[in-house]
Chain A
Amino acid sequence: MDKKKAVRDYHRNLAVTAGIILLIFIAIPIFVKSPYILNVFVLVFYMSTLSMAWNLLGGMTGQNSLGHAAYMGLGAYASCLLVVRTGINPWLSAVAGMVAVAVVAGVIFYPCFILRGPYFTLVSIAFGEAIRQFIINSEFFGRASGVGLPYGKDSWIDFRFGSKVPYYYVGLAMMILIYAFMKKIERSKIGYALKTIREDEDAAAAIGINPIKYKIMAVVISAMVAALVGFFYASYIRYIDPELMIQAKSTEAVLPAIVGGAAFVEGPIIGGLIMIPLSEFLRATYSAILPGINMLMYAVVLLVVIRFRPAGILGWYMNSRAKQFVDERILKKPSVEVIEEVEMAGGR
C-alpha cells in the first residue's frame, strides 16, 4: 500500500513540476513587456519545433537530414501563396501547405530510401538547394524578392497581430502539441520500428519491419511538422524570401537537437532554450563591436558541447548527480523496482 502511494506521489510530483514550468511560460508575457525578449522566445518556440521535426528523422530513425529549411520554406511558400493568390483562410492554408510538403517529400525521398547509406543526407542537401534555385527563378513564386502577407487589423481569423504576445502563445502551444505528438510516436509501434531501423536495418527487416515504409513515414511526418513551422514563421514575419532555405538554416534546425540530446524527444526543446537565446545575446552584444564574433563564439560553444558532452545536455543529465538530486529530493521518485512492481500489479 505504501509502495502504491509512493508511486502515486511520484506521478503527482511529476505533473506538478510540469504544471509549474508551463505556468512560468504562460506568465512570461504578463511580466516581460520588451518585444525583443518576446521575439527571442518566439524564436525558441518555432526553432525547437523545427528541431523536433528534424529529430524524428535524425535522432529516432538515424537518417540525417540537412534539408529541413527547405521543408519549412516550402510550407511557408505554399501557405503564403495560397493566402495571397486565392484569399483562403490562413489556418486552412497551413493544412494545405503541410499536405503539399508531405507529398513532395514522399515522392522525392522514396527513391533514396531504397539505397542505403549517406544518400539521404546528400539528396536532402541537394533538395534544399534545388528548391531554392527553382523559387529564385520562378515568376510564380515571386523570384528573389519573395512574397509578403497582407497587413491589417489584428485578427485571430487571419492570424495577424501587431503585438508579439499572441504569436508567443501560439508558438508555445505549437511546441507543446508537437512535443506531445512526438512523445506519442516515440512510445508507439512506429517509434519502436524507427528505433530498430536506426540501430540495425537488416535486423529490423529480419523481424518483419519494412525499413523503406517506416523511413518514408518518418520523412513525411517530419516534413509536415517543418511545413507547419514554415506557416507559423510566415504568419509571424509576414514576409518570406528564398533566403529562408539557405543551407545554414537547415543546420540551425539540427543544432538544438544535437546540443540538447538527439536521443531524447525533449532534447530539441532544451537545446533550443539554451542555444537560441545565447545566439541572440551574442549577436546583440558583440556583432556591432566586431562583426562575426557572435558566430565564432556560437561555434565555440557548439564544439565544446560536441567534444565534452556528445550525448547532449540531456544525455549528460540522465547520468548525473543533478538528476539523482532532482529525483530523490524534488520528485521523490521511488526505485525502479517499486515502480515496476506497482505497475505490474495493475496500475496506480
Chain B
Amino acid sequence: MLKVSGLNAGYGSVNILWDLEFEVKDGEIVAILGSNGAGKTTMVRAVTGMLKPSSGSVQFNGDELSGKNTRYILDAGIVQVPEGRQLFTEMTVLENLEMGAFNRKTKEHFRDNLKKAYGWFPRLEERAKQAAGTLSGGEQQMVAVARALIGEPRLLILDEPSLGLAPNIVDDILKVASDMADHDGISVLLVEQDITKALACADGGYVIENGKIVLHGTAKELSENEHVKKAYLGI
C-alpha cells in the first residue's frame, strides 16, 4: 500500500531524514518508533506533502506522491491526525468534523461518515455544539481522530496520539485504531514515542534514530530486541 524508499527531507540546508525506507501493507498497523527529535514528525510532514522531500519516493497504491501537494495526497487517501491534535479550538466539535470533509470527494458521504465517527466516539455526539477548545485533552484527541476519519482515509497517520494524555485514554484511541484496521481495512501508521503501547497494538514497526531507520521487524521481534529493551524500555 504505502512504500517509502530513499526518502530524504529537511528544512533549508539542514537534512533531517536520511534514506528512509519503510512499508505499510493493507489493513496493517505499522509503528514508527523513536524518541524526541528523531525525525518522526518530519517524516509525517514529508509523507503528507506538507514538506517537500529533497529526494526519494513515496508510493501509495502505485501512485507516486513525492512532490505532490497535501490536497492531492489527501484525495489519494492518506489522512493524518497531526501531532498535538491541532483542533480549531473556537469552532464547535461538529464544525471541526465538517472541516475534515473539506475536500470535494468525501463531502457526499459526510452524513454517513459522521454517523460512523459518532459510533467510534459516542461522547462527541453529546458535545457536538460545544467549542472544541472547551473539551478535555482526551476528547480533543477523539475529535482529531474523528476529523481524520471523516476524510475517508485508506491510510491513517496518527502522530503521537499519546502526547499529554492519560494512559487509559491512549488505550481507547489505539483500540479504535486497531478496530478500524480489522473491520474497515484501513491501514494505520502509528508514530509514537511510547513504545510499549505502540508495540502492543502494531503488527510491525521501525525504529528511527537521528533521522535514520536503525531497526525494523514484527512487534514481537522489536519488543524482544536487546537494543530496544535497553534504549527505550529501560529493561
Residues on A facing B (Cβ under 8 Å): 189, 192-193, 195-196, 199-200, 202-203, 205-210, 336
B100 located at the interface, meaning its Cβ lies under 8 Å from any Cβ of chain A in the complex: yes
B42 located at the interface, meaning its Cβ lies under 8 Å from any Cβ of chain A in the complex: no
Partner of B82, one of A189, A196, A202: A202
Compute how far the CA of A210 lies from the CA of B102 in the bound complex, rounded to whole angstroms: 11
User: Which stretch of B22-30, B83-91, B119-127 is in the interface?
Assistant: B83-91
Which residues of A lie under 8 Å from residue B48 when comparing CB positions?
Answer: 206
Which residues of A lie under 8 Å from residue B98 when comparing CB positions?
Answer: 192
Which residues of B lie under 8 Å from residue A208 when comparing CB positions?
Answer: 70-71, 74-75, 102-103, 151
B91 touches A205 (CB 8 A): no
Query: Taking the nearest CB of chain B, how far is it from the CB of A62, in angstroms?
Result: 11
Compute how far the CA of A203 lies from the CA of B129 in the bound complex, rounded to whole angstroms: 20
Q: How many residues of B contact A (CB 8 A)?
A: 24
Compute how far the CA of A29 lies from the CA of B48 in the bound complex, rounded to whole angstroms: 59
A200 touches B102 (CB 8 A): no
B102 touches A206 (CB 8 A): no
Compute how far the CA of A196 lies from the CA of B100 in the bound complex, rounded to whole angstroms: 11
- Asked, given contacts A208-B70, A210-B69, A210-B70, whether A195 binds B80 with beta carbons under 8 Å apart, the answer is no
A209 touches B102 (CB 8 A): yes
Nearest opposing residue in chain B for A199, CB measure? B88
B91 touches A199 (CB 8 A): yes
Q: Would you list 22 pairs from A and B whose C-beta atoms are within 8 A, ordered by A residue?
A: A192-B99, A195-B88, A199-B88, A199-B90, A200-B86, A200-B87, A202-B50, A202-B82, A203-B82, A205-B50, A205-B70, A206-B48, A206-B70, A206-B80, A206-B82, A207-B99, A207-B151, A208-B70, A208-B75, A210-B69, A210-B71, A336-B129
Compute how far the CA of A219 lies from the CA of B71 in the bound complex, rounded to whole angstroms: 22
A196 touches B50 (CB 8 A): no
B102 touches A189 (CB 8 A): yes
Which residues of A lie under 8 Å from residue B82 when comparing CB positions?
Answer: 202-203, 206
Nearest opposing residue in chain B for A263, CB measure? B90
Query: Which of A192, A200, A206 has the most B CB atoms < 10 Å from its CB?
Result: A206
Compute how far the CA of A202 lies from the CA of B84 in the bound complex, rounded to whole angstroms: 11
Nearest opposing residue in chain A for B90, CB measure? A199
A193 touches B102 (CB 8 A): yes
Main secondary structure of the interface of B (DSSP, over half): loop
Which residues of B lie under 8 Å from residue A207 when comparing CB positions?
Answer: 74, 99-100, 102, 147, 151
Nearest opposing residue in chain A for B98, CB measure? A192
Q: A200-B87, A203-B86 are in contact. List 20 more A-B contacts (CB 8 A).
A: A195-B88, A195-B91, A196-B99, A199-B89, A199-B90, A199-B91, A200-B86, A202-B50, A202-B86, A203-B87, A205-B70, A206-B80, A207-B74, A207-B99, A207-B102, A208-B70, A208-B102, A208-B151, A209-B102, A336-B129
Which residues of B lie under 8 Å from residue A193 when comparing CB positions?
Answer: 102
Compute how far the CA of A216 lies from the CA of B17 in the bound complex, rounded to whole angstroms: 32
Compute how far the CA of A199 lies from the CA of B98 in the bound complex, rounded to whole angstroms: 15
Q: Which of B41-98 contact A (CB under 8 A)?
A: 48, 50, 69-71, 74-75, 80, 82, 86-91, 95, 98
Query: Taking the nearest CB of chain B, how far is it from the CB of A240, in angstroms?
Result: 40
B50 touches A206 (CB 8 A): yes
Which residues of B lie under 8 Å from residue A192 when comparing CB positions?
Answer: 95, 98-99, 102
Query: Which of B50, B88, B98 has the most A CB atoms < 10 Å from its CB?
Result: B88
Query: Taking the nearest CB of chain A, how far is it from the CB of B142, in angstroms?
Result: 15
Compute how far the CA of A174 lies from the CA of B204 in the bound complex, rounded to whole angstroms: 63
Nearest opposing residue in chain B for A197, CB measure? B88
Which residues of B lie under 8 Å from residue A203 when comparing CB positions?
Answer: 82, 86-88
Query: Which of A195, A196, A200, A207 has the most B CB atoms < 10 Å from its CB?
Result: A207
Compute how far the CA of A205 lies from the CA of B74 in the bound complex, rounded to whole angstroms: 11
Which residues of B lie under 8 Å from residue A200 when comparing CB positions?
Answer: 86-89
Nearest opposing residue in chain B for A340, CB measure? B129
Nearest opposing residue in chain A for B132, CB measure? A199
Nearest opposing residue in chain B for A201, CB measure? B86
Compute how far the CA of A336 lies from the CA of B128 in the bound complex, rounded to whole angstroms: 13
A196 touches B88 (CB 8 A): yes
Nearest opposing residue in chain A for B48, CB measure? A206
Compute how far the CA of A199 lies from the CA of B90 in the bound complex, rounded to whole angstroms: 7
Query: Taking the nearest CB of chain B, how far is it from the CB of A223, in angstroms?
Result: 25
Query: Taking the nearest CB of chain A, how far is it from the CB of B128, in angstroms?
Result: 10
Nearest opposing residue in chain A for B150, CB measure? A207
Compute how far the CA of A182 lies from the CA of B59 in the bound complex, rounded to whole angstroms: 42
Query: Taking the nearest CB of chain A, how far is it from the CB of B42, in angstroms?
Result: 13
Which residues of A lie under 8 Å from residue B147 when comparing CB positions?
Answer: 207
Shortest 10 CB-CB distances between A and B: which pairs? A203-B86, A208-B74, A199-B88, A208-B71, A206-B82, A208-B103, A200-B86, A196-B88, A208-B70, A205-B50
Compute how far the CA of A207 lies from the CA of B70 in the bound complex, rounded to whole angstroms: 8
Which residues of B lie under 8 Å from residue A205 when comparing CB positions?
Answer: 50, 70
Compute how far the CA of A209 lies from the CA of B49 in the bound complex, rounded to whole angstroms: 12
Nearest opposing residue in chain B for A337, CB measure? B129
Which residues of A lie under 8 Å from residue B50 when comparing CB positions?
Answer: 202, 205-206
Query: Taking the nearest CB of chain A, how far is it from the CB of B87, in angstroms?
Result: 7
Compute how far the CA of A208 lies from the CA of B87 in the bound complex, rounded to whole angstroms: 14
Query: Taking the nearest CB of chain B, how far is it from the CB of A186, in angstroms?
Result: 13
